[in-house]
Amino acid sequence: MTISINISEQSGVRFLHFGTLWIQGAMRIARPWSLELEYTREMMSSLLLREASHWPRKVLLIGLGAASLTKFLYRNRPLAHLTVVEIEPAVVAAARQFFKLPEDTKRINLVIGDGTEYVLNSNKKFDLILVDGFDQNARAGALDTLPFYQACRARLGDEGVLAVNLLGRSRGFRGSPGRISAAFEGRALVFPSCESGNAIAFAAAGNPIEISFDDLKENALALKEETGLNLLPTLARLAQARTCLNNRLVL
């Protein structure tokens, strides 16, 4: 079924919709490279988890939307090669026309196809996999299943991290953390929900991750200085929620 693409603008922000008022992506027109929506900023918390000087070099993004994550990584991780899988050609066209998706085939491999099938059939390895795919009814479908998460784990290298946008509409992601945890043998963590209802789940493969909150804050300050992205509020919420034992993030 072909989706309907709608573009709206309000207070200097351009929004992507799939035929409903539900927001599928956003860009502040004056700052097209910045991450406008809170959940996209929180997905970039993955950059705090591995050594920032060289990581990630190979990134897989499932779901293009308004290309926010793609543009942020393209600009701020110039050594990274990005593979983007988007099932709807119309979304790609909208991202190019309205959201300044870069035309750079050397660094951005844009695949029109089903994200689940791509991961299940691929033999490539990635450092970072970002999953943010929903239909017009905010359903993730096969992207929120145990076989998909298991395939993601198989596609991650020694420094691998998975970040998944879980949408809390009607408490819809209640079973998702368990599926992710099962696929990664317990090496998974869900950050407290954003105000929008989104919650970001992180999982790790390969080398273990164990970072103190002090080191996370140091990494966040360095990332803010480098990119302008401020993740200190995210870390404050994480600490307040006592999601991590003994003020250490372990994956």
CA distance 73 to 177: 25
pLDDT for res 46: 96
pLDDT for res 180: 95
212 forms beta bridges with: 248
* Secondary structure in 3-state letters for 21-75: CCEEEEEECCCCCCCCCHHHHHHHHHHHCCCCCCCCCEEEEECCCCCHHHHHHHH
198 forms beta bridges with: 167
Sequence letter at residue 78: P
Instruction: Please tell me the total number of residues recorded for the chain in this structure.
Output: 251
CA distance 222 to 239: 19
- The full set of domains in the chain, from first to last, is 33-250 (3.40.50.150)
Q: Is 114 a catalytic residue?
A: no
What pLDDT tens digit does each residue of the chain (251 aa) get? Answer: 567 888 999 999 999 988 777 788 899 999 999 999 999 999 999 999 998 668 999 999 999 999 999 999 999 999 999 999 999 999 999 999 999 999 999 999 999 999 999 999 999 999 999 999 765 555 556 788 999 999 999 999 999 999 999 875 445 556 888 999 999 999 999 988 877 778 899 999 999 999 999 999 999 999 999 999 999 999 998 888 777 778 889 99
What global pTM score does this model have?
Answer: 0.92
Catalytic-role residue among 132, 135, 214, 215: 132
pLDDT for res 11: 94
Residues 6+ apart with CB under 8 A from 24: 15, 16, 17, 18, 65, 66, 134
CA distance 218 to 212: 10
pLDDT for res 135: 53
First to last CA, the chain: 39
